[in-house]
Amino acid sequence: MKFVLFYHSLVSDWNHGNAHFLRGVVAELQARGHQVEVYEPEDAWSVAQLVADHGEDAIAQWQARYPQLRSRRYPRDRFDVDEALDGADVALVHEWNEASLVADIGNRAPTSCRVFFHDTHHRSVSAPDDMARYDLRGYDGVLAFGEAVRQRYLDNAWCERAFTWHEAADPRVFHPLEKPDEPDGDLVWIGNWGDDEREAELREYLVEPVRELGLRARLHGVRYPAHALAMLREADIEYRGWLPNWRAPEVFARYTATVHVPRRPYARLLPGIPTIRVFEALASGIPLVSAPWDDVEHLFAPGRDFLVARDGAQMREHLRMLVADPSAASELAAHGLATVLARHTCAHRVDELLSIVSSLAASADTPDRSTSRSLSHA
């Protein structure tokens, strides 16, 4: 089959955490012999920020790491949607696209093409008015990265059909690497600051435990404001800025443990969504301790795949134990890795996608696609 994917960016993972999963899906589809074309705007914000910080060499490094992946970077003002969709059997449109393009793809896709809107963000609860701007009437369904998000689309009548399609790890890239005889430190955290969505949580579950335990800690991520950097310095946490996503496993291999600190909208409003960071860490074979999140979809076995800290005090207890007990740390990491490989790889998600496409193949309920539609259904 021919898959056409419209992403914000395949090239850049600067403040674009979904890049790992999107790249993994493309690689898996290609490995199965499908034709895959990826389109992204040539002025994509994430790419512009990456180049501004690290130069064009960062893009060259990405291409060297993923020689089989290509994206067609198009100018927004003269993008031929019909040409892009020509011969497509399936189109995936990531939520980080302009509303006008999302509507245009739904309106202009061939009748034989199954078109899906792919949502990997919390805006369905944090910015519902923004999501209501997307015209999805020409779409066969929404691929939501959690049941709670899927339900939001149905409850708000933003679409007629939605499927839960979690993110997952690409084990071609994320897998355990050989550990050095002596680790570089006790704790590493890879994550971006965001929009002040978890400042209090980062202080309670990361900064204060590191400071009080005297751990050797390192942090990678972008968009940290001055006051956040000052908070890290006060706890003696080494800040190293952006890390190419594919290099995360080599950094994980040099540290004893990592933590997961979900953003507030996920922890409080969208239960069951671990986000990509959990999959990355477990696939890389590093012991993980998570701040509270409710695994209502039973993706993992909390307590065996990773530890859960109900508060900062328990986070300190868990981290102290993992640093002091290598055997327990190894057992925890092995269990988490086994769960990912058994249930949560990009191959599993491609199986699910193909099953969804197959289930719709015989359906007579094909969206009516017309270029005369309004671009808003809010």
Other CB atoms closer than 10 Å to residue 334's CB: what's the count?
14
Using an 8 Å Cβ cutoff, are 38 and 7 in contact? yes
Helix (H) or strand (E) holding 372: none
Where residue 265 falls among pLDDT bands split at 50, 70, 90?
confident
Handedness of CA 118, 120, 125, 126 (dihedral sign): negative
pLDDT value at 193 more than 90: yes
> How does the average pLDDT of the chain come out, rounded?
94
Where residue 268 falls among pLDDT bands split at 50, 70, 90?
confident
∠ CA 118-120-123, nearest 5°, is 105
Per the structure, the complete domain to which residue 84 belongs is given by 2-168+346-361
∠ CA 346-350-351, nearest 5°, is 115
pLDDT computed for residue 375 by the predictor: 29
The answer on 212 and 137 residing in a single domain is no
Residues 173-190 pLDDT 10s: 999 999 999 999 999 999
**Can you tell me the distance from the alpha carbon of 61 to that of 124, in angstroms, rounded to the nearest whole number?**
34
Using an 8 Å Cβ cutoff, are 267 and 295 in contact? no
The answer on 357 and 289 residing in a single domain is no
Smallest Cα–Cα separation from 8: which of 53, 51, 38? 38
The answer on 251 and 318 residing in a single domain is yes
Residue range 344-360: average pLDDT?
97
Residues 47-102 pLDDT 10s: 999 999 999 999 999 999 999 999 999 999 999 999 999 999 999 999 999 999 99
Residues 302-342 pLDDT 10s: 999 999 999 999 999 999 999 999 999 999 999 999 999 99
pLDDT value at 372 more than 60: no
pTM over 0.85: yes
The answer on 191 and 332 residing in a single domain is yes
The answer on 357 and 331 residing in a single domain is no
Q: What is the CATH number of the domain that holds 218?
A: 3.40.50.2000
The answer on 124 and 28 residing in a single domain is yes
> In total, how many domains does the chain have?
2
What burial class does residue 354 get, using C-beta atoms within 10 Å of its C-beta: 0-12 exposed, 13-18 middle, 19+ buried? Answer: middle
Residues in Cβ contact with 321 at an 8 Å cutoff, skipping those fewer than 6 apart: 328
Residue 176 falls within a domain, yes or no?
Answer: no
Lowest mean pLDDT among 104-108, 355-359, 361-365: 361-365
Residue 72 falls within a domain, yes or no?
Answer: yes
Beta bridge partners of 151: none
The answer on 356 and 245 residing in a single domain is no
**Can you tell me the distance from the alpha carbon of 163 to that of 144, in angstroms, rounded to the nearest whole number?**
6
